Structure 1
Amino acid sequence: MTTLYPFKFKTIFKDKIWGGNKIKTHLKKDFGSLPNCGETWEISAVKGNVSVVANGNLAGNNLAQLIEEYQHKLVGNKVYQRFGNEFPLLIKFIDANDDLSIQVHPDDTLAKARHNSFGKTEMWYVLQADEGATLISGFNQKVDEQTYLNKLNNGQINDILNKEQVNTGDVFFLPAGRVHTIGKGLMIAEIQQTSDITYRIYDFDRVDDKGQKRELHTEEALAAIDYNVYANYKSEYEKTPNQVNEVVACPYFKTNFMDLTAPLKRNYKNLDTFKILICVAGAFSVVANNYPINVGLGECILIPATVEEIEILTNTGAKILETYID
């Protein structure tokens, strides 16, 4: 049987009504004849959008095939017992050339009942922010369902939403139920549960190239929304160089941040799970099981559970997100 090694996957490109060109200009990814690219899906097991291996002896196999063949050796015993052959995370890059719709995602319970799906808890890391760029996360005051509906139906929804000024390196954790949108001028790395369920609340009355407005999900969203207000919506985290800094820890994933200017060894012997490394600045290389792989800006690798130790090297300096299920 093939010795497992760090996997790169072929990028899946998505054009969006709000998408732009930073995927090409900033991340140097060619999206071909698409009119724009709003999202790239880098590691995905979503039906119809399953990532295909781009490197090594297993190139051409997709992620679903890898899990079916290698099971716990790929994802770890606990993860395989919990999720079976379903890969639990989806990794994206997002380029917002315009504001995304105001939206919300259901939690596991609601998503299971309605869609036989996982819910969608996610986090955003800001790769790049134009001057003055903002996003929306949650409410700026406690509201109930009726107050929310009154504001929505009267065109005043923005009055009760929490708007944040955004800079490169900012992190926002978005549990399922939190109303949100990515604002114009932001490039985001997104880590989320494997789900493509979005309830669109408001879309600024935009129309597509056929003059049609996109569907809204007003009724579906009501049971999904968390109407509470919170003191902080931005995730504060340490950025100590050449160390592993925890950013987010939740039942669905744990994410660490590394700002490297020197080699770093990572020992995973006590971590029974896959690991994903996402390059959000600079470039780095990894040696695992005697297999070397280079990772540039906007690239990700999936490190199998059987890999117990890696060394990360960088000549240029690198900022890296490391995510896994603990």
Structure 2
Amino acid sequence: MSIKFYPLVFEPILQDRIWGGTKLKTDLGKNIPTQTTGESWELSAVSGNVSVVREGEYAGKPLTYLLEQFPTEVLGTKVHEQFGAQFPLLFKFLDAREDLSIQVHPNDELAKQRHNSFGKTEMWYVMQADPGSRIIVGFKEKSSPEEYLEKLESKKLIDILNQVEAKKGDVYFLETGTIHAIGAGIVIAEIQQTSDITYRIYDWDRVDANGKGRELHVEQALDAMNYNTTDTKKEYNKDENKSNTMVDCPYFTTNFLPLNGFTEISKNGNSFTVYICTDGEYSIEADNVTYTFKKGDTVLIPAGLTTYSLTGTATLLEIYIS
């Protein structure tokens, strides 16, 4: 049995969140089920939230089926060697109508030990930001567990955290251990390791309709946190019809590809490639078939599809594993 290689799009997995809103519908065309839809999981192999192919020969098939049947052809020779038949990344859009909780993610070692999971290194690309919106990322100055706990207890944690104004096109790379929060009024494209492990530290004293607050993980966060200052914001080039490096780390490489016209792509089969369209419209031509995509579409190119072309006027994020 051999796979028919074509660009794969998956049904979004829409997640209701206490801080969510309606921009996933108004900005990205997602068919949201509630007025507080905070996340669209675009490409996921997280247990209980596995993506399903939207159209084409494999319509209705879960990503895990493709990985079981065609691991090398989908993942790539190098990625398959490293991860087996696991899909190592998770792709999301987030709409923060309100501030997200202040949180931290554990590294691979801690996540494996405590949760039998990958850690959660991630990056954010700001797709839209209301005037005055901000991102919380890292400490203002070197901190310590003692200072962190004291400020948390006195409800002054925000005083020692680094707050930066959010602007469209900003990129933040968050290594594990970086304390962070997405602020209200921001839509983000998020690329991360396949993990759903979050240590929630402070949730702005929010309660749900039953007057209950969400669970906090203050103690677990203590030894997961990096108390040093971090340099998280990434500058990058924006040369047209070229892959401009934004983030290059052991877990993923993300490029900025401003498409204006036509470009041919040639890959070596080592890794799958994912395109996230953050603006505009474009088409992929592969094996003499044209597939059309728009803002809000996330496309998985199986590693076995090594030559194809991109045409259109669009802003793309291009992701693979080096």
The alignment partner of 1:17 has SS state of strand
Q: CA deviation at 1:233?
A: 2.5
Q: CA deviation at 1:126?
A: 0.4
Relative to its length, the structure with more strand (as a share) is: 2
**Alignment pair present for 1:273 and 2:244:** no
Once the two structures are superposed, the pairs formed by residues 100-115 of structure 1 within 5 Å of their partners are 100-115=100-115
Does the 8 A contact of 1:289 with 1:307 survive in 2? no
Does the 8 A contact of 1:253 with 1:325 survive in 2? yes
Name the % identity.
50
What's 2:255 paired with? Answer: 256
What's 1:46 paired with? Answer: 46
The alignment partner of 1:318 has SS state of strand
For 1:51, the aligned partner's letter is S
Q: CA deviation at 1:86?
A: 1.2
Selected match of 2:320 from 314, 317, 324? 324
Q: CA deviation at 1:91?
A: 0.4
What's 2:116 paired with? Answer: 116
What's 1:298 paired with? Answer: 296
The alignment partner of 1:15 has SS state of strand
Once the two structures are superposed, the pairs formed by residues 212-223 of structure 1 within 5 Å of their partners are 212-223=212-223
CA distance in 2, matches of 1:250, 1:289: 32
Per-residue CA deviation, residues 239-291 of structure 1 (Å, 9 max, x unaligned), is 1222210000000000000111111111113x511000000011111012333
Which residues of structure 2 form unaligned runs of 5+? Answer: none
Does the 8 A contact of 1:126 with 1:167 survive in 2? yes
CA distance in 1, matches of 2:232, 2:251: 18
**Alignment pair present for 1:2 and 2:3:** yes
Does the 8 A contact of 1:121 with 1:193 survive in 2? yes
Q: CA deviation at 1:149?
A: 1.0
The alignment partner of 1:298 has SS state of coil
CA distance in 2, matches of 1:35, 1:124: 23
For 2:195, the aligned partner's letter is S
Per-residue CA deviation, residues 180-236 of structure 1 (Å, 9 max, x unaligned), is 000000000000000000000000000012110011000000011001113x32111
| Deviating more after overlay: 115-124 vs 207-216 | 207-216
Which residues of structure 1 form unaligned runs of 5+? Answer: none
Q: How many residues align?
A: 321
Does the 8 A contact of 2:22 with 2:32 survive in 1? no
RMSD over equivalenced CA pairs, Å: 1.0
What's 2:158 paired with? Answer: 158
Once the two structures are superposed, the pairs formed by residues 13-52 of structure 1 within 5 Å of their partners are 13-32=14-33, 34-52=34-52
CA distance in 2, matches of 1:35, 1:165: 26
**Alignment pair present for 1:78 and 2:78:** yes
Per-residue CA deviation, residues 126-166 of structure 1 (Å, 9 max, x unaligned), is 00010011011111100111111111111110111010111
For 2:85, the aligned partner's letter is N
Once the two structures are superposed, the pairs formed by residues 138-217 of structure 1 within 5 Å of their partners are 138-217=138-217
For 2:240, the aligned partner's letter is P
Per-residue CA deviation, residues 12-64 of structure 1 (Å, 9 max, x unaligned), is 101100000001111111113x2421000000000000000011111111100
Does the 8 A contact of 1:268 with 1:308 survive in 2? yes
Q: CA deviation at 1:292?
A: 2.2
**Alignment pair present for 1:126 and 2:126:** yes
Does the 8 A contact of 2:134 with 2:184 survive in 1? yes
TM-score normalized with structure 2 length: 0.98
What's 1:282 paired with? Answer: 280
Does the 8 A contact of 2:3 with 2:73 survive in 1? no
CA distance in 2, matches of 1:5, 1:293: 9
Does the 8 A contact of 2:10 with 2:43 survive in 1? yes
CA distance in 2, matches of 1:291, 1:228: 51
| Deviating more after overlay: 1-10 vs 128-137 | 1-10
CA distance in 2, matches of 1:200, 1:292: 44
For 1:61, the aligned partner's letter is K
Does the 8 A contact of 1:254 with 1:323 survive in 2? yes
